Structure 1
Amino acid sequence: MDISWTLIQKQRLHELNANETQQGMCFESQEDRNRAFQELEHQLVVKGKLRLQELREIKKRPSLCILEQQLVEALTQKGFVQVVTPTIISKGSLAKMSVSNEHPLFSQVFWLDNKRCLRPMLAPNLYTLWKDLLRLWEKPIRIFEIGTCYRKESQGALHLNEFTMLNLTELGLPEDQRQQRLEELATLVMDTVGITDYQLEMTNSVVYGDALDVVKGIELGSSAMGPHFLDDQWGIIDPWVGIGFGLERLLMIKEETQNVQSVGRSLSYLDGVRLNI
């Protein structure tokens, strides 16, 4: 009879970023299982300590920060301008994105009071900037932001309440070039991160409707294009494309970790390593 890990053992292996094969091991007896657990836990702890040593002596910065810097350098070299916008946004801004009381995303928002919240997405602020930049810059307008967003997500291997988004946008390009441009931007980001063998799939977004997703086992990024029915709320009439990525998910796939919490903002993990080792 095959005997699998106990619940406590499974949790510990998950914390230590054991791979799928290791987490799915089975044994002929409890003695074999417990002996294997001690050996595997020791291996993973040693691996974690070596990674922390590398962080201290060589890298000096967590992989999430390094990835952000790589993306900034790649995008600015391609003519995109980085912007930084407020983390606190108004309820009215969300309403312009169709996120009203009845919207599925509404219940995931962290509200500060009845008029303000922590942003669950970067798009409202980028729409606001577009309006002014159309008066000030020639088209196309290429801007991006990398910033923290907040959602009351279900806690699991793929979700975080506090996560880092990249939102990359281009406004004022020929309408017949939108699909090609989205594919080019997806390629630019994925090449910069170092992820291959991904797919582009059409899906449906709770905010934008039809969307082109970047997928490798899990959704890594999602895109949209305009003219779009939301544009009227912001006074935008030009064709545009936008694509957003969760940096922690990108890093999770790149480094083949088993849970997104290990690579995000945390007091329990540092650069992918559980600290109770």
Structure 2
Amino acid sequence: MTELGLSQDQLDMTFETAQEREGVYKPLEKQLSRENKAHLLDLMEQIHQPKLCALQEAIAKGLRDRGFTQVTTPSIISKTFLERMSIDSSHPLNEQVFWLSNKTCLRPMLAPNLYEVSRQLLKLGKTPVRVFEIGSCFRKETEGNAHLKEFTMVNLVEWGLPEEERVSRLKEYAALLMELAQVEDYHLEEEDSVVYGLGLDIVGSNGLELASSSMGPHPLDDLWEIDSSWVGIGSGLERLLMYRERQQGIHRYAKSTAFLDGARLNVK
């Protein structure tokens, strides 16, 4: 029933007898199955694009319109890049990394490659430098309602702004990202990241973290030969969709062969 989109309120209903419960849930299951099938047919005949793809396009266009340059970088990164992010064998995140060899892994975040691309672009001597990437990241996460082993990240960063403008710029870009994602009910909280230090989290009204941010100069910058003030925000798009669509689980919007655009593919 939850795979068909049963709401939390419906899940929380109580009944005095099993017969009473079946009298409510059986018709509800049939209704949800009809709606599930109708959504898939509508997707094939009218929409032709899952919400995850539409969200990627909307965010990419919105950021480009604001002067950010989109980049694409490899999903396979080096151990050296991770170590420059302070993720060595003693770091808690190291246990979540998908290692392909003793020197390479699937990236658990977009930041290492963005650091390297930004390092090269800053050599041009023109600031601010605004870049972003949207791509897959991989972590050995516990399969819960809000986590995926493969998820789609957006990471934006602006280099070379005055340090006194960092907090206001973070708030500006947080508002922009949520506007592009069509998320309205959220607030900002101060948070201390295990990698970047102090930043602002974007948090939904239910307490779900929707995005995290950070700012520099930061001690990590030296390892990338960067000397610049900056702000950055990262967010998982599947989690944004789950929150925006008021769903109980993230898997229905993941890259999947079981779900498509929130609908279950195993139609009965």
Q: TM-score, normalised by structure 1?
A: 0.94
Question: Which residues in structure 2 correspond to 1:33-112 (within 5 Å)?
Answer: 33-112=21-100
Query: Residues 213 and 140 (structure 1 numbering): CA distance in 2 closer, same or farther, change over 3 Å?
Result: same
What SS does structure 1 have at the residue aligned with 2:255?
Answer: coil
Partner of 2:202: 214
The question of whether the paired residues in 2 share the 8 Å contact of 1:109 and 1:150 is answered with: yes
Alignment of 1:150-189 (within 5 A): 150-189=138-177
Once residues 44 and 102 of structure 1 are traced to their aligned partners in structure 2, the CA distance between those partners, rounded to angstroms, is 47
CA–CA separation in structure 1 for the residues paired with 2:239 and 2:221 = 29
Partner amino acid, structure 1, of 2:192:
N
- Report the equivalent of 1:199: 187
Measure, in 2, the Cα distance between the counterparts of 1:20 and 1:236.
Answer: 47
Residue in 1 aligned with 2:178? 190
> Partner residue of 1:7?
none
Q: What is the CA–CA distance in structure 1 between the aligned matches of 2:49 and 2:266, rounded to whole Å?
A: 20
Please list the CA deviations of residues 184-225 of structure 1 after superposition, one character each: whole Å capped at 9, or x if unmatched: 001111011111120000112111122210000200100000
Work out whether residues 221 and 246 of structure 1, in 8 Å CA contact, stay in contact via their aligned partners in 2.
yes
Q: In the aligned structure 1, how far is the partner of 2:228 from the partner of 2:198?
A: 19
**Partners in 2 of 1:255 and 1:154 — Cα distance?**
22
RMSD: 0.9
Structure 2 match to 1:270: 260
Unaligned 5+ runs, structure 2? none
Q: Deviations over 1:105-134 (max 9, x none)?
A: 000000001000000000000000111101
Q: Is 1:249 paired with 2:231?
A: no
Structure 1 residue 276 displacement after superposition? 2.0
Which SS does the other structure have where 2:92 is aligned? Answer: coil
1:114 aligns with 2:135: no
CA drift of 1:70 comes to 0.6
Contact 1:17–1:259, Cα closer than 8 Å, also in 2: no
Name the residue aligned to 2:115.
127
| Residue-pair matches, total | 265
Identity percentage of aligned residues: 51
Partner of 1:236: 226
Q: Which amino acid aligns with 1:64?
A: L
Q: Is the 8 A contact 2:190 2:199 kept in 1?
A: yes
The code of the aligned residue for 1:153 comes to E
**Matches of 2:199 and 2:13, distance apart in 1:** 38
**Alpha-carbon distance in 2 for matches of 1:123, 1:20:** 35
Q: Residue in 1 aligned with 2:10?
A: 22
- The two structures have a TM-score, normalised by structure 2, of 0.97
Within 5 A, what are the aligned runs for 1:134-145? Answer: 134-136=122-124, 138-145=126-133
TM-superposed deviation, 1:182: 0.4
> Does structure 2 conserve the Cα–Cα contact (< 8 Å) formed by 1:220 and 1:245?
yes
Q: Secondary structure at the match of 2:32?
A: helix
Secondary structure in structure 2 of the residue aligned to 1:136 = coil
> Residue type of the partner of 2:142?
S
How many Å separate the matches in 2 of 1:229 and 1:135? Answer: 20
Structure 1 stretches of 4+ moved >2 Å:
none
More divergent stretch after superposition (44-53 vs 113-122): 44-53
Gaps of 5+ in 1: 1-12
Counterparts of 1:90 and 1:127, CA distance in 2:
13
CA distance in structure 2 between the aligned counterparts of 1:206 and 1:102, rounded to whole angstroms = 12
